Structure 1
C-alpha cells in the first residue's frame, strides 16, 4: 500500500489568546500543497512496527507520529505487524506539518488495511489526541482552522496562485514560538476566505501570519529571505506556520520562473508547488 502525505501552508494565521490548558486559540486558513512524503506500508508476521526512512532525524521511533498512530490502533487487530518505509521530502520542523500529515495518512491507511471501518468522526478524534494539525488532513480540503486547529470549516479556493517554497535548513520548534507569542486577534479571515472563493487577486496582499514577529526577531536571516522575494515581483511572501519555511505567491509565470532560477542554488530547499484543494 502506498500513500501520499501532502504538506500544508498557512495562508493566514492569527493567535487570539492563550488558553488555561496552555494551548493558543488560533484562527488560520490552511491549504495543502503538492509537496508530499510517500508512505509504503506492508504487513509483516512479527507483530511489530518497523519504520525505515531517508532522514536520520527520525530514527527515534517512539517520537515518530507514524509510530504513535500505529500504537493507537494496534490493539484492534490480532496481528498488527507492519513494515513502513517513509520517503521524506517535506522539510522537518519547517511549518509545513510534515509529521502531522504522515500521522493522518497512517491512520487512514491502517483504517483501510485492517478493515477497521472507523468513521471520519472517529479518525478526527484519534487525530486530535496526537496533534492539533492532524485533523485538517482528513478533510482533504482547504479550511479555516479555529480552536487549537481542530475546529475546521472547509471551503473552495478559486484563485490560481503560483507558489515558490523556500527553506534554508533552519529548524524551529513550534513550542519555542508559541511560548513567546502574544495575543492578536486582528485578522479578518472570513473576509479573506470570501476573496479566495470569489477569485479576488487583491486578497493575497492581505495574507498575514502573526508568528512572524517572534520568528524574525529570533531568526533575522529569515526576514531577509522573505524580503528578498519581493525583488522578483511576488504578490506576497509569508512564513508558513511557525516556520522556518517561507512561501511566495505569484500570478505571473515569468516572474516565478525567474525567482526559481535565481534561488534554486542559493538555499537548501527551493521548489515550485501548487495548491491541492480536493
Structure 2
C-alpha cells in the first residue's frame, strides 16, 4: 500500500485589512499570505477498508469535526481508488494561533488524497472544495504567496523576497468567530491603492485582540524590543522579521518560558507542493 508524507505549512498574514461587511455576514478583506517552511506533518497511507482513519495528535476532536476528515470526505465523490486512507498527524502548529494549522491540514489532505485516490482534480477544483471547508483553505491548496481579496477566495500571485521570521505563540487561543463578530472590530479600511507598499498596511484585528487578550499585547511589546512586530490573522501568534535565521534564533533563545515559538523562512511555493512533486517523480521511476 502506498504511503505519502507531506508537511502542511504554516502561513503568515503579513497584513489584514477589513474593507466592509457583506449582507450575509462575511467580511470583505485584503490580506497578504506568505507560506512558511514549517508546519504539521501528515502521513497518508492507503488501507483496504474504504474508510478514513485519523491518528496521532488529534487533541480529542471528534472525527466528524476534524478538518482532515472533512476534507477527505469532501473528496470522496471523486475518488477512483477502492482504498480508504489512514492519516497520521504530528501537530506542530498551535490551534487558534492564526497560522493556518487546521486549514493547511485540510488543504494538504486534499492534495495528498487527490493523488493517492486517483481523483485527478485540478487545483481550481480542489480550491473550490477547500472553500467549502474554510476561507483560508484555497490559498494552501494553491500553495503560493498571494494577495487575497473578497472573503479570501480571490487570490492573486504576489512576489516577495524570502525573509526570516520568529513566530511566537503566547499560549492563548483566539476564536476567529469571536473576533469577526465583535462590534469593536474596524470594518472600513479603504481598498489598497495602486503601487501600495507593506509600510502602508496593518492588521485590523490587532488592536481588538490586544484588548481582549492582554498576553498578545505583551508578546508584541516583547518582540518590538528586537524587531518590528505584528500579529498574524486573528491571532494569537505574533511575528517579527529578521535579516538572518541566526538573528531570529538568538531572540528565540531569550523567549519567556511561558510562550512557545519557532524560527523559519518564508517560501514562495508551499513545501507540501514541492514534496508532492518529488514523490510523484519517484513513483514514475
Provide, for residues 59-82 of structure 1, a one-character-per-residue CA deviation record: whole Å limited to 9, x for no partner: 311111111111112233463421
How much does 1:190 deviate?
A: 5.3
Question: Aligned partners of 2:178 and 2:22: how far apart in 1?
Answer: 17
> Post-superposition shift, 1:255?
4.5
Partner of 2:13: 10
Give the aligned length: 263
The match for 1:219 is 213
Q: Which whole-Å CA distance do the structure 2 matches of 1:109 and 1:253 have between them?
A: 30
TM-score, structure 2 as length reference:
0.86
Q: How large is the RMSD of aligned CA atoms in angstroms? A: 1.9
Which residues of 2 match residues 13-162 of structure 1 at below 5 A? 13-57=16-60, 59-77=61-79, 79-158=82-161, 160-162=162-164
Task: Supply the distance in 2 between the matched residues of 1:55 and 1:123 (Cα, whole angstroms).
Answer: 24
Deviation, structure 1 residue 138: 2.1
Which of residues 155, 164, 167 is equivalent to 1:165?
Answer: 167
- Output the TM-score relative to the length of structure 1: 0.88
Shift of 1:256: 2.8
Secondary structure class of the residue paired with 2:254: helix
Are 2:18 and 2:28, in contact at CA under 8 Å, matched by a contact in 1?
yes
Instruction: State whether structure 2 residue 253 is matched by structure 1 residue 261.
Output: yes
Q: Which of 200, 218, 239 does residue 247 from structure 1 map onto?
A: 239
Question: Residues 40 and 253 of structure 1: is their aligned pair in 2 closer, same or farther, counting only changes over 3 Å?
Answer: closer
Change (3 A) 1:76 1:120: closer
The CA deviation at 1:129 is 1.1
CA distance in 2, matches of 1:227, 1:17: 29
Q: Structure 1 residues 55 and 72 mapped into 2: Cα distance closer, same or farther (>3 Å)? A: closer
Structure 1 residue corresponding to 2:229, chosen from 202, 214, 237? 237
Structure 1 gap ranges (5+): 196-202
> Which aligned segments of 4 or more residues in structure 1 are displaced greater than 6 angstroms?
none
What SS class does the counterpart of residue 141 from structure 1 fall into?
coil
Contact 2:168 2:238 survives alignment (8 Å)? yes
The equivalent of 1:200 in structure 2 is: none
Distance of 1:87 and 1:129 partners within structure 2: 24
Residue 109 of structure 1: SS of its match in structure 2? Answer: helix
| Alignment CA distance shift 1:55-1:251 (3 Å) | same
The secondary structure found in structure 2 opposite 1:130 is coil
The answer (yes or no) to whether the contact 1:141–1:156 under 8 Å persists in 2 is no
What displacement does 1:275 show?
0.1
Q: Which residue of 2 aligns with 1:182?
A: 186
After superposition, the C-alpha distances for 1:19-52 in whole angstroms (9 at most, x for unaligned) are 1111111100111111211111111122211101
- Partner Cα separation in structure 2 for residue 253 and residue 64 of structure 1: 34
